[in-house]
Structure 1
Amino acid sequence: MTSQFPNTLTPKMVEGIKGFNLCTFLIGLEGWRRGLTLKYYSDINQYSDIHTQGKKLMGRNYSLQSKDKIHYFNQSRGDMVSNEAVRIAQSKQKTKDYLEKGNVNILPSKEFDKTHSDVDIIKLAREIGYPVIIKPTYGSLSKGVMLNLKNDSELTDALKYVRGQLGYSNVILERYFEGADIRVYVVNNVAVAALRREPPKVTGDGESSIEKLINEKNESRKDNPYLAARPIKIDKELKDVLRKNNYKLSSILENGKTIMVKNKSTLTQGVDLYDITDTVPEHVKQLAIDTLNALPNIIHGSIDMLFDGEEAVVLEVNASANISMHMFPTEGQPRSIASFLMDFYFPETKGKSSNHTNMYFDFVDIVNTLKQNYTNYVEVKSLPQPPLYAKKYIVTGEVQNVGYRNWIRRQATKRELHGYTKNLKNGNVVVVVASHEKEKVDKFKRVCKKGSKKSKVSDVKSSDWTKEIKMGFEIKDNITKKKKEVDKKYINELLTELKETQTKLENAKKMQEELRMERDSYKDKLSSIRNSTSWRVTEPVRVIGGLLKGKTKVKN
């Protein structure tokens, strides 16, 4: 059962936002709702030396500013986290070295590079004893992390996959510890959130195949912005897990029987997330705090651990962790890491976001604007002063296909109102407007009643509006899913045609250039011949020849 959507967000607000962009939107939204100035950058390093990951990942670099200060962010990491700490956290081996010095409870392990053979790794595994873990020295999102390898054969297969197929030549071998996979997020020496991550599982109903149960579970996760992007993948690993337990995709699970369909709780493999913030023991929270303190200047971040109910061991530290998983767990209370971060970076704004919990901005449009390279940053327009008043007006009469909505948008924009207008299937038009000035909102009913020149308004009914309001004013269209697919296909066909035309033009230009060069070459040759000694010497002969030809022509 997926947890309820946080009351500060709605599905429309996060529509189309995925991965780390969801983290940056959540933090930006929280700060913006508190009245801070929010900017998203194409190249943030023109303004800050904050370490960035990836090249021009639009939407992941941003700043928040009050009257007195400005802070820069990359993904979920702010500039109060040192660049040195980021580089250390990116290397599991360097992290381990610091944690050992800080007496943090970790597992015995050793790093191997490309000069070491798989045989060297297997030899050490025998020495420290199975089961073991193999993982890339440099990696993220648990990619290539292979857990609970019980013998030489399983370790050999894992090495072929990690070092061969995935291409991670530098790996770490670690003693396996049996325990729950948990993540704790710490901000300024406080463990503010904790999750337990479990490999994906399905529960039988006595009728459905395992494949159908997987598909149904993936479908149920689509309402969760974080989990929707991480479905259970039917791949080789899943089939191997089923085969080891004498199941197939076509097998029917008995009613109430639950089985795991993956070996590990990787973030890309349909993981289930359970909030345990209120139940995780204090000594585990303290271990997370001590872990960050063992690293230089990392004031906030996540700590991955294994916990067997009594003892916990640290696996790794993430300076740029994905925080949206805490906001959208499979079960349990959503935890707004964004709120804790804003409380830390801008403590004077604490509690102010509650004035605008139904306001949001078009993040997808901002990202698309940055991708066009027209500007290096986009500043989100500031919020109106609280409190916000909003009304919905239903307009009846001859109000469709007469320019009514365009007219309404101009009137709303002129009055600095936020909201939208939309045609309804019954021929009416809906208008939603919001402002901190109640009088403006109320008076807009008269504007709706007046209408555009060609429209004929017969009635306007009003009601309070308490749902989400996007910054600015827009015209919404009733576009069905089928029409979207048709439009997408049409656009793709146009793009293909455009690409083919561009190719033809480029080929034509290339041919034109080749002909121009050939022409210039002949001109140069002709000029060279005319300036040559032989050309000048033979000139009288050519003149006489020309005259003779002329006489011949006259005779004829």
Structure 2
Amino acid sequence: MNYFSRKAFEARGVSLCAYLIALAGFQRGLRITFYNDPQLTTKVTTASDPRGTIFSLSDDKDVYFFLRSRGSLTSKEAHKSSINKWKTKELLLNAGVGTPKGIMVETGKALEDDELFASFGCREVVVKPVSGSLGKGVTTGIKSQEELVDALGNIQTRRVVLEEHVEGVEYRYYVAGGRVVAVTGREAANVVGDGTSTIRTLIMSKNKIRARNPHLSSRKIKLDKSTLSFLQLHGHDLSTVPAKDEKIYLSSAANLSRGGDSIDATHIVSEQSKEAAVAAARALNIPNAGVDIINVVRDGVEYNYVIELNSQAHIGSHSFPMKGDGQGNKVAEAIVESYFPERTEKIIEDAFFDFSYVKNGLGTGGLSGVSLPVLREGMVKKRLKLSSPHSPAVVTRHSEKIMKQTGCFGEVHSFGGGMFHMRLLAEETNAARFKEQLVKKLEDIEILEEGGFTSPIDTTVRVVNHVDDSEPNLRSSRLIVRGKVQGVGYRKWLKSAAMKKSVDGWVRNRSDGAVEAILSGNASQIAELIEECREGPRRSYVDQVLIKPTKITPKSGFRVRSTRESF
């Protein structure tokens, strides 16, 4: 999990869309405010519990409000049209956009019409409530009057839409600023056999993988009545052991909320289908929308059928698909740029904010809103290495206080032996003021080294104590370093850095792209070396350094070992 994913994971669930868009605006120097009081944002919602999903973006001239991914440039009328599946179909047809054949009927009358399936004139139909989301109440693959009656009996709504079932490949297109930014394919919930595990075990294993995904962690495969019935219909149950590489589907609907798989398909769909998505969003007058399209190829000709639009679509699936690389934060960035066309450049590429700060602030109940720091042009990353005879408590307390007074963000890293590292995100003048005031306050402090750094940074002020006074002087640590750390000389660099500090151990590549190392020696020297590992050599880019204690005692010296399979 890279740094971007780990920060997004803090906002997993209903707040993820808000976090991604707020992050895109934040990195472009916009003012971001999250609200506790929904009455402040009646343009987008009347919800009573915002839970970190209502926020605004402002450049101090214009301000726009958002509820998750839906901003105030989407009118209430357009939003209502996207919720109403029949209204959506009418607007698409009027605009000449391809959509499956369909009719709207009263649920009660439909149940009384014994010839409804035959009169509709399609071999296979889909039933969906007129209004709804997340696939609730949708039944696909209906092939008889009996199946139609069963499906209608499961829908608790006054009106339904009967739609021709179109056989093809379904994708979610995200349209922002008049173009398709990302496309995600969706596959119904499934497991793949290994020849020894039951379906129950395979589901549990897959849910563990989903639990580590910021978007899918709250969308696990459910062992409910629907799943069990589907398995039974296809001759399986939870104790079935599928053959190796045999794929067992657990649902007929390709719905992520029902445990479906998301697949990055941005670069495999046709330009024609992207044009259809843009035309659909334009037909409903929605500037930013998720558009669901089924692509069909008949006799070498592609047909695109728009089946749904969502003006408040989840954008996390495009950033964190189950399969494929994903599109990073491109969707959120395109949304922000559609509201602020002049803000196309990031002030700091990898500056982040702590979403727990937002949640904690909103959770106090006494605040109507929480505003984030504002990034300013000219901010740079500064790294300082200092020594001081003062106690770590004194140095870290004054450093933290002076950072806040001088408008600097960053981290104070305290090591043993009077050594300190500081990372600053600040304008040059503010960084200079910080150093000046710190030296003035702590006269005996000495700045040993000054430079920049490349790793990500949070716009918070915090203290990290690497060495506890109660720790023994000698210790061993196991490191897993992730990011761009292979093929860039990372192992050679670490060996050289370790030998300079008289640290024993070894380093090796792992088959999952990470670097693994064992460091053994003086606690303060190891702590300082770990801090340097967050930077690495010039060509590297470190996303994460995972540190674990270990009882391994390596031989004297430092070695580069062969690649190991990762587990």
- State TM-score, norm by structure 1: 0.73
Alignment partner of 1:325: what SS? helix
Alignment match, 2:403: 412
Local SS of the residue matching 1:177: coil
Letter in 1 for 2:11: I
CA distance in 2, matches of 1:429, 1:243: 65
Q: Deviations over 1:152-208 (max 9, x none)?
A: 443343333332xxxx34322222111222111222332222111111222222222
User: How many angstroms apart in 1 are the aligned matches of 2:420 and 2:137?
Assistant: 51
Q: Which has the higher helix share?
A: 1
Equivalent residue for 2:8?
A: 14
**1:56 is paired with a residue of what secondary structure?**
coil
Which residue of structure 1 lines up, in the alignment, with residue 186 of structure 2? 197
Deviates most, 434-443 or 56-65: 434-443
| CA offsets 1:3-60 (integer angstroms, 9 cap, x no match) | x85xxx52332233123421111111111211112222234554x6523263332322
With over 3 angstroms needed to count, the CA separation of the structure-2 counterparts of 1:437 and 1:209, relative to structure 1, is same
Please point out which of 12, 23, 26 is paired with 1:29.
23
1:306 is aligned with what amino acid? I
Distance 1:357 1:157 in 2: 53
CA–CA distance in 1 between the matches of 2:419 and 2:139? 57
Of the candidates 39, 62, 74, which is equivalent to residue 55 of structure 2?
62
Tell me by how many angstroms 1:368 deviates.
3.5
CA contact (8 A) 2:378 2:428 kept: no
Residue aligned with 1:202, SS: strand
Equivalent residues, number? 459
Look up the match of 2:534: none
Aligned residue among 237, 243, 260 for 2:232 = 243
For the pair 1:339 / 2:327, whether they are aligned, the reply is: no
Question: 1:179, 1:399 → 2: CA distance?
Answer: 68
Q: Counterpart of 2:308 in structure 1: which amino acid?
A: E
Task: Answer with 1 or 2: which has the greater Rg.
Answer: 1
Match of 2:375 in 1: 383
Partner deviation per Cα, 1:287-328 (whole Å, 9 max, x = no partner): 212212222x32221211222232221111111111121111
Partner AA of 1:235 in structure 2: D
> Tell me, what secondary structure is at the counterpart of 1:227?
coil
Correspondence list, 1:239-278, <5 A: 239-278=228-267
Letter in 2 for 1:471: T
Displacement of 1:374 in angstroms is 2.0
Instruction: Give yes or no for the alignment of 1:316 onto 2:308.
Output: yes
Indicate if the aligned counterparts of 1:210 and 1:252 stay in contact, CA closer than 8 A. yes
The amino acid that maps onto 2:209 is S
Contact 1:393 / 1:445 at 8 angstroms: preserved in 2? no
Query: 1:214·1:232 contact (CA, 8 Å) conserved in 2?
Result: yes
Q: Distance in 2 between matches of 1:368 and 1:338?
A: 24
**1:146–1:158 contact (8 Å) kept in structure 2:** yes
Aligned CA distance change for structure 1 residues 477 and 179 (closer, same or farther; 3 Å) = farther
CA distance in 1, matches of 2:282, 2:272: 15
Amino acid at match of 2:409: H
Q: 1:357 to 1:114 in 2, by over 3 A?
A: same
Report if the CA contact (8 A) 2:172-2:291 is conserved: yes
Asked if 1:178 is matched to 2:161, the reply is no
Partner Cα distance (1:431, 1:12) in 2: 23
Deviations 1:109-153 (A, max 9, x none): 233346435333x64223223422121211112222221123344
Provide the rounded CA distance (Å) in 2 between the counterparts of 1:202 and 1:44.
Answer: 41
- Secondary structure at the aligned position of 2:117 is classed as helix
Indicate whether 1:472 and 2:455 are aligned: no
286, 310, 315: which one aligns with 1:298: 286
Structure having the larger proportion of residues in strand: 2
Shift of 1:232: 1.4
Note the C-alpha offset of 1:392.
Answer: 6.8
Could you tell me how far 1:284 is from its partner in structure 2? Answer: 1.3
Higher relative contact order structure (alpha carbons within 8 Å, sequence separation ≥ 6): 1
What secondary structure does 2:150 align onto? Answer: helix
Residue 394 of structure 1 deviates from its aligned partner by: 8.8
Shift of 1:334: 2.6
**2:352 is the alignment partner of 1:360:** yes
Over 3 Å counting, the alpha-carbon distance change for 1:382 and 1:461 in structure 2 is: same
Q: Deviations over 1:464-514 (max 9, x none)?
A: 643332222124689xxxxxxxxxxxxxxxxxxxxxxxxxxxxxxxxxxxx
Q: Measure how far apart 1:432 and its partner are.
A: 4.1
Residue 435 of structure 1 pairs with residue 425 of structure 2: yes
Q: 1:432–1:240: structure 2 CA closer, same or farther, 3 Å change rule?
A: farther
C-alpha spacing 1:283/1:396, structure 2 compared with 1 (3 Å): same
Helix, strand or coil at the partner of 2:24: helix
Counterpart-to-counterpart distance in 2, 1:318 and 1:304: 8
1:72 maps to which residue?
A: 65
Partner of 1:539: none
Q: How does 1:483-522 map to 2 (within 5 A)?
A: none
Aligned to 1:286: 275
Counterpart-to-counterpart distance in 2, 1:257 and 1:211 = 15
The aligned residue for residue 97 of structure 2 is 104
**1:76–1:323 Cα contact (<8 Å) kept:** yes
Q: Is the 8 A contact 2:214 2:320 kept in 1?
A: yes
Query: TM-score, normalized by length of structure 2?
Result: 0.72
Structure 1 residues 127-136 or 31-40, which shifts more? 127-136
The answer to whether the 8 Å contact 2:379/2:428 transfers is no
Distance in structure 2 (CA, Å) of the matches to 1:67 and 1:77? 21
| Alpha-carbon distance in 1 for matches of 2:437, 2:201 | 54
1:62–1:408 Cα change, 3 Å? same
Task: Give runs of aligned pairs for residues 535-550 of structure 1, distance below 5 A.
Answer: none
Amino acid at match of 2:357: D
Q: Return the alpha-carbon distance in structure 1 between the equivalents of residues 105 and 97 of structure 2.
A: 22
Q: Sequence identity, in percent?
A: 27
CA RMSD of aligned residues (A): 3.4
Closer/same/farther in 2, CA of residues 444 and 130 from structure 1, 3 Å limit: same
Which whole-Å CA distance do the structure 2 matches of 1:448 and 1:248 have between them? 67
Change (3 A) 1:124 1:153: closer
CA 1:477–1:59: 2 relative to 1, 3 Å: farther
Task: Tell me how far apart the structure 2 counterparts of residues 428 and 247 of structure 1 sit (CA, whole Å).
Answer: 65
How many angstroms does 1:449 deviate by?
9.8
Give the match's secondary structure for 2:277. helix
Aligned to 1:541: none
12 and 331 in structure 1: CA distance in 2 versus 1, 3 angstrom threshold: closer
Alpha-carbon distance, 1:438 to partner: 5.4
Distance 1:459 1:36, change over 3 A: closer
User: Using a 3 Å threshold, how does the CA distance of structure 1 residues 225 and 429 change in structure 2: closer, same or farther?
Assistant: farther
Cα shift at 1:64: 1.6
Gap regions ≥5 residues in structure 1? 479-556
Which whole-Å CA distance do the structure 1 matches of 2:388 and 2:80 have between them? Answer: 61
Gaps of 5+ in 2: 467-567
For the residue of structure 2 that corresponds to 1:259, the secondary structure is strand
Q: Distance in 1 between matches of 2:138 and 2:447?
A: 64
